Amino acid sequence: MISTTALGTTGPNVSRLGLGAMGMSGMYGKTDDAESVATIHAALDAGIDLVDTGDFYGSGHNESLIGKALAGRRREDVTLSVKFGGLRGPGGTWAGVDTRPESIRNFLAYSLQRLGVDYIDIYRPARLDPDVPIEDTVGTIGELVEAGYVRHIGLSEMGPETLRRAAAVRPIVDLQIEYSLVSRGIEAEILPLCRELGIGVTAYGVLSRGLLSDSLRTDQTLAADDFRAHSPRFQGENLRQNLTLVDSLAAVAAQHGVSVAQLAIAWVLAQGDDIVPVVGARTVARLEETLGALDVHLGAGDLAAIAAAVPDTAVAGERYAPAQMAQLDSERVGVGR
């Protein structure tokens, strides 16, 4: 079975790997609900107990899918992490963030219904709402903790000032934020602060949305409805430059007899027990590859070879388009990519 770790100093014990379900609701092209349910079941059976979603993924589809997969399972065997506040329009357009107290209660009621549960383990705003003080957002979730509808409070993509202000109101168990070999901006200020405050890190994007894998090395065609088709890192010369980094990483992976993805996940795991990679496997086959990363043990020499193959400033292109980057509180502190 998969080992576990404490999520921050006040959070629950969770598996060393989490399953991110966003890609099961169309963000990366066509999906298959039956395969998605099978993947969730396989993850739970393997010992992955942290499942992450957002109420706006697929405009509710993702939560309903997870609810279907969890039917008949013991509730206490699953740690559900839910992001809220993202507003969608018809066709999946992004309409900003809403974390007003009355909206939070409304979002939670719908999430509980779609997931088929009576409480959520970790509830977090998807982004900082510029119109609502973080103290009000965290305070409202705290009231829902007291009422029994939520167990723990998490945050997502927040910068240092916001983290400090939030932690002064209620215990924060984790910060969900992008972290990978090619997205290392949190190392300068955010990660040290999380450790100072006793806040765990649930790292998403550990494969940089598939860049750090073998998939794009053999097939660079992205469907129009694939998020990456509009992401700077996957465009033209940026992609060509980034794939040279992946080729260098592949050479290191070959020395270990593992895939590029397994090495990239293992690198994140090696950065500390307080960091839990949340990997977006969409099929049982990808999940099995992901689980193989747990058997990759990296020493100082291995980490040095990986650093030489993928320098932390070598990636071309930001992780989101400019309009989306501007909405990230975590990027307002000059931490870079």
Task: List, by residue number, the catalytic residues.
Answer: 57
CA pair distance 292, 269, nearest whole angstrom: 12
CA 72 remoteness from chain centre: 26
Amino acid letter, 88 = R
Q: Identify the residue whose tokens are 């700077």.
A: 232
Which residue matches tokens 């899918």? Answer: 65
d(CA 154, CA 142) in angstroms, rounded, equals 11
Neighbouring-strand partners of residue 120:
150
Length in residues, the chain: 337
Quote the CA–CA distance of 122 and 62 in Å, as a whole number. 16
Contact 203/293 with Cβ under 8 angstroms? no
| C-alpha span between 242 and 225 (Å, rounded) | 22
What is the distance between the alpha carbons of residues 70 and 120, in angstroms, rounded to a whole number?
13
